[in-house]
Amino acid sequence: MSTRPGPDLVTDGVYARLRNPTDTATTAIAFSAWIAVDGGLLWVVPAAALLHFTLGIGLYEDRRLLEAFGDEFTAYRRRVPKWFPRTSAH
């Protein structure tokens, strides 16, 4: 599995609304499972996912994308939120 970014920064489709929709979906599923089963200490799973996607691979990915795409990624990061899509047009 390659960790190098592709030749183009993808900013259309779902990526126009969220920078990493897969991380958001995975974390939401983990939170939903915890709520659905009234999981007590199972809250650790979604919390760990959130930390992993933010501080673990999230920081690494952002650094790699910044190296690969520079100002284009900086503008994209300012324009598109990581976790929750904006509800209003801007």
- Tokens for 85, please give them: 């899509």
pTM confidence score: 0.76
Helices and strands counted in the chain (H then E): 4, 0
Domain-located, residue 26? yes
Domain-located, residue 87? no
Domain-located, residue 66? yes
Domain-located, residue 7? no
Domain-located, residue 62? yes
- Tokens for 24, please give them: 């958001």
Domain-located, residue 54? yes
pLDDT in tens, 42-60: 888 888 988 998 898 889 9
Domain-located, residue 36? no
Count other Cβ atoms within 10 Å, centred on residue 31: 16
For 37-73, give one letter per residue: b (16+ CB within 10 A) or e: eeeeeeeebbeebbeebeeeebeebeeebeeebeeeb
Domain-located, residue 2? no
- In the chain, the number of structural domains is 1
Indicate if the pLDDT at residue 11 is higher than 80: yes
User: Which residue range(s) make up the domain with 75?
Assistant: 20-30+42-79
